[in-house]
């Protein structure tokens, strides 16, 4: 059963907030953690793990191990994969004809079946109680329709599971908010972030399909593809949005949002 869904950022500033907006965002992330205490497993989709341009990924490695922090922020730990749920998501997506692959490393199971985690997963996980999880990766060169369908399949599998499952989209938004940042300042980052926050706050994720490709590209985002998966999930299991928050303390925008069952 799917108990809830969330958008969670993966920027270091939420770990030690220094301004009011970021503190409010961190508080929403803590509320997500409280809401998801009832979960027995998480499904987490992250843009900063394995990168494939035209295939969706389902990690089947047994052990998920902290490996890569961001800007020197190391977050040690180890999580276990909910392999039964991961296998069902993979098989269902494959049967539906989606471009999906299952991924493992070193050994099929046991001590040496291990997979690295980056800041894209580790930062959201700091706000969640430790549970087994399914790690998924998006792909930018598949169609919007495929990403939405992937979300629908995740919802269908979660609903058919005996476990209580929470879905998390790890996502940061426009990366061009600061002229001194690595990407400079681009007006499209502000435009995209404002639009996405309207969509999330109004719980009208169908509007994501209307965002021009050019805006997504110029805004320098790493959120759009995961949000489309979230849209598909919420199409299958409609929920109400309870919390939203946004902060941009550095060059990229961060958002938190929580959905719970109606």
pLDDT digits (tens, 9 = 90+) for 89-143: 999 999 999 999 999 999 999 999 999 999 999 999 999 999 999 999 999 999 9
CA distance 255 to 237: 22
- List the structure tokens of 229: 């998966």
The string of pLDDT tens digits covering residues 222-237 is 999 999 999 999 999 9
Q: Please spell the DSSP secondary structure of 164-227, one letter per residue.
A: -EEEEEE-B--S-B-TTSTT-B-HHHHHHHHHHHHHHHTT-GGGGGGS-HHHHHHTT-S-HHHH
Q: What is the pLDDT at residue 86?
A: 98
Q: Residue 101 contacts by C-beta under 8 Å, 6 or more apart in sequence?
A: 52, 55, 56, 57, 58
Q: Residue 74 contacts by C-beta under 8 Å, 6 or more apart in sequence?
A: 66
Burial 47-74 (b: 16+ CB within 10 A, else e): bbbbebeebbbbbbbbbbebbebbeeee
Q: What is the pLDDT at residue 79?
A: 98
Rounded mean pLDDT of 144-172? 98
In a 10 Å sphere around its CB, with 0-12 CB exposed, 13-18 middle and 19+ buried, how is residue 141 labelled? exposed
Using the predicted structure, report yes or no on whether residue 262 has a pLDDT greater than 90: no
- What separation in angstroms does the CA of 211 have from each of 9, 76, 207, 217? 21, 37, 7, 11
- What separation in angstroms does the CA of 262 have from each of 215, 237, 239? 33, 9, 5
The string of pLDDT tens digits covering residues 11-54 is 999 999 999 999 999 999 999 999 999 999 999 999 999 999 99
Q: How many domains does the chain have?
A: 1
The string of pLDDT tens digits covering residues 58-72 is 999 999 999 999 988
**What CA dihedral angle connects 102, 149, 174 and 257, to 10 degrees?**
-100
Q: If you ran DSSP here, which 8-state letter would residue 61 be given?
A: -
Q: What is the pLDDT at residue 106?
A: 97
Rounded (5°) CA angle 177-183-189: 35
| CATH code assigned at 19 | 3.40.830.10
- What separation in angstroms does the CA of 166 have from each of 36, 132, 258? 7, 11, 11
CA distance 258 to 201: 10
CA distance 76 to 89: 27
Q: What is the pLDDT at residue 58?
A: 98
> Is the pTM of the predicted complex or chain greater than 0.95?
yes
Task: Please state whether beta strands 63-68 and 254-261 pair in parallel, antiparallel, or not at all (unpaired).
Answer: unpaired
**Residue-number span of the structural domain to which 141 is assigned:** 2-261
- Length of the chain as a residue count: 262
CA distance 167 to 230: 8
Average per-residue pLDDT in the chain? 97
Contact 75, 122 (CB under 8 A): yes
DSSP helix/strand/coil, 51? coil
CA distance 229 to 118: 20
Q: What is the pLDDT at residue 177?
A: 97
Using the predicted structure, report yes or no on whether residue 190 has a pLDDT greater than 90: yes
């Amino acid at each position: 059963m799917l108990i809830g869904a969330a958008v969670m950022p993966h920027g270091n500033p939420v770990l030690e907030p220094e301004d009011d907006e970021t503190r409010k965002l961190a508080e929403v992330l803590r509320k997500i953690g409280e809401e998801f205490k009832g979960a027995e497993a998480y499904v987490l989709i992250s843009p900063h793990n394995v990168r494939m341009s035209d295939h969706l990924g389902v990690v089947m490695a047994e052990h998920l191990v902290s490996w890569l922090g961001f800007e020197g922020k190391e977050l040690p730990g180890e999580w276990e994969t909910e392999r039964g749920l991961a296998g069902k998501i993979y098989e269902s997506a494959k049967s539906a004809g989606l471009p999906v692959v299952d991924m493992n490393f070193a050994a099929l199971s046991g001590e040496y079946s291990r997979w690295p985690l980056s800041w894209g997963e580790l930062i959201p996980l700091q706000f969640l109680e430790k549970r087994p999880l399914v790690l998924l990766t998006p792909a930018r060169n598949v169609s919007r329709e495929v990403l939405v369908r992937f979300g629908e399949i995740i919802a269908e599998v979660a609903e058919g599971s005996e476990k209580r499952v929470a879905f998390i989209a790890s996502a940061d938004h426009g990366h061009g908010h600061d002229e001194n940042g690595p990407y400079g300042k681009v007006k499209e980052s502000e435009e995209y972030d404002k639009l996405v926050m309207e969509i999330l706050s109004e719980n009208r994720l169908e509007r994501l399909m209307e965002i021009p490709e050019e805006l997504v590209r110029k805004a320098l985002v790493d959120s759009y593809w995961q949000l489309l998966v979230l849209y598909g999930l919420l199409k299958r299991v409609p929920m109400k949005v309870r919390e939203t928050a946004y902060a941009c303390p550095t060059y990229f925008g961060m958002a938190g949002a929580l959905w719970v069952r109606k």
